[in-house]
C-alpha cells in the first residue's frame, strides 16, 4: 500500500469552522523523515512587593508549533506525480503558491491546514528556509531542502470556548458585598492575595482595609 503524502491546504476562514479552498492543496513528493510538534505554556513571573521568590502563575497556553523539512528532487530518481512539475524550481513555486504567496484579496498569506495520517493542524507559516544541495552544470537546482515552521491558530469561536471566565488574564468587574476584603477578592480572582496594592491603585482606593458594600471594583488582567 502506497504511503499517504503529507498535504498542505489553504483555508477559507470567513466561516467557522474554516473550510479548505478547492484547488489549493500541495502534496509532498517525499514525506518528512522527522516532524516536530511543540507545545508550550506561558507563565506570569511578575514580582509583587515583599515577595522573596519568583512565583510561577499560569498566564496562557501558547499556540502549538510544528516543524518539518521538505525535500525536492529534480534528478528523476524520484518519479514526479502528474500533478507536480518535473523541475525543482517548479515544485517550489507550486508549494509557494499555496503556503507563502501574498493574497491580495485577504492582504496576507493563506491560513493553512497540514494533514498527515491522523494529524490535522490549522496553522500559519512562520519560517520558509530553502537550501539548494545539487545543481545542473548551468546552475539550475536539481535538489533542495526546505525547512518549514508553522504556528497554530484558533478561530474566534475556539478562543471563546477555550477561555475560562475566571481566568486571571481576563478583566473582571466585581460588586462588593458585606464581608469582602480586597486581599480576599484578589485571592479569589488571581489566586494570590498579594495583588491588592495594584488593584487598590487601579481603582483609586485611598484605603483597602474597608470596602463599602455596593461598590463596583475592577480587577485588570495580570501583566
Instruction: Tell me the fold of 164-219.
Output: Membrane-bound Lytic Murein Transglycosylase D; Chain A (3.10.350)
- Taking residues 207-220, what's their average pLDDT? 84
Contact 179, 148 (CB under 8 A): no
Selected residue with higher pLDDT from 24 and 176: 24
Reduce the DSSP state of residue 22 to 3 states and report it.
Answer: strand
Is there a shared CATH topology between the 7-161 domain and the 164-219 domain?
Answer: no
Contact 113, 123 (CB under 8 A): yes
pLDDT in tens, 176-207: 888 888 988 888 888 888 888 888 988 988 87
Predicted confidence band at 171 (pLDDT cuts at 50, 70, 90)?
A: low
Q: What is the rounded distance in angstroms from the CA atom of residue 18 to the CA atom of residue 4?
A: 23
Whole-prediction pTM value? Answer: 0.68
Contact 125, 100 (CB under 8 A): yes
What pLDDT, on the 0 to 100 scale, is given for residue 44?
Answer: 72
List the single range of 81-90, 97-106, 207-216 with lowest mean pLDDT: 207-216
List the single range of 46-50, 165-169, 219-223 with lowest mean pLDDT: 165-169
The residue to which cell 490535522 is assigned: 120
Model confidence at 168: pLDDT above 60 = no
Q: What is the rounded distance in angstroms from the CA atom of residue 45 to the CA atom of residue 30?
A: 44
Q: What is the rounded distance in angstroms from the CA atom of residue 106 to the CA atom of residue 118?
A: 29
Domain boundaries, the chain: 7-161, 164-219
CATH code at 7-161: 2.40.30.200
Selected residue with higher pLDDT from 59 and 37: 37
- Taking residues 96-110, what's their average pLDDT? 92
Amino acid at each position: 500500500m502506497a504511503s499517504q503524502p503529507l498535504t498542505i491546504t489553504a483555508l477559507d476562514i470567513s466561516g467557522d469552522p474554516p473550510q479548505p479552498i478547492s484547488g489549493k492543496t500541495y502534496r509532498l513528493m517525499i514525506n518528512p523523515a522527522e516532524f516536530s510538534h511543540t507545545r508550550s505554556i506561558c507563565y506570569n513571573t511578575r514580582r509583587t512587593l515583599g515577595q522573596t521568590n519568583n512565583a510561577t502563575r499560569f498566564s496562557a497556553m501558547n499556540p502549538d508549533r510544528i516543524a518539518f523539512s521538505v525535500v525536492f528532487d529534480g534528478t528523476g530518481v524520484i518519479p514526479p506525480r502528474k500533478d507536480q512539475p518535473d523541475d525543482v524550481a517548479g515544485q517550489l513555486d507550486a508549494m509557494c503558491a499555496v503556503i507563502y504567496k501574498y493574497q491580495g484579496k485577504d492582504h496576507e498569506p493563506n491560513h493553512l491546514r497540514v494533514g498527515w495520517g491522523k494529524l490535522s493542524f490549522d496553522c500559519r507559516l512562520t519560517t520558509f528556509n530553502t537550501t539548494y544541495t545539487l545543481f545542473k552544470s548551468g546552475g539550475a537546482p536539481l535538489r533542495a531542502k526546505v525547512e518549514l515552521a508553522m504556528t497554530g491558530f484558533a478561530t474566534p469561536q475556539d478562543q471563546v470556548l477555550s477561555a475560562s471566565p475566571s481566568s486571571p488574564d481576563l478583566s473582571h468587574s466585581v460588586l462588593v458585598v458585606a464581608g469582602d476584603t480586597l486581599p480576599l477578592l484578589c485571592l479569589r480572582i488571581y489566586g494570590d492575595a498579594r495583588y491588592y496594592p495594584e488593584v487598590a491603585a487601579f481603582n483609586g482606593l485611598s484605603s483597602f482595609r474597608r470596602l463599602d458594600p455596593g461598590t463596583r471594583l475592577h480587577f485588570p488582567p495580570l501583566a
